[in-house]
Amino acid sequence: MAADDDGVVLYWRPLCPYCMKLRLRLLLTRLRYTSVNIWKDSEAAAFVRSVADGNETVPTVTVAGRAMVNPSKRRLFGEIRTYAPHLLPRAGGTDRSS
């Protein structure tokens, strides 16, 4: 699976504490995104390697096709505000990008 040119894609793998932390923080935001396990998707793993200096560093997230390796929630929402503001959760959701 390649980066979604219009949405948010979170590339992760099981047992990754950084992935679990980001996924948990995103649960509270109501942000809609696609989640891809790189251990089950070889194309996704290849994509992650292509943007992470040959490593399978996760979480890797794309926003409108722009990749970030191990981003903070604050950085992720900054990229969404800049490149895909239509994806921001509507009123009633939380966007406490801390």
DSSP character at residue 87:
G
Provide the whole-model pTM.
Answer: 0.85
What residues does each domain of the chain span? 8-86
Percentage of residues in the chain with pLDDT exceeding 90? 77
Structural element, H or E, at residue 80:
helix 73-83
71-76 CB contacts, 8 Å cutoff, 24+ apart: 71/22, 73/22, 73/25, 73/26, 73/29, 73/97, 73/98, 74/98, 76/8, 76/22
CATH code of the domain occupying 8-86: 3.40.30.10
Distance of CA 83 to the CA centre of its chain: 14
pLDDT digits (tens, 9 = 90+) for 17-57: 999 999 999 988 989 999 999 999 999 999 999 999 999 99
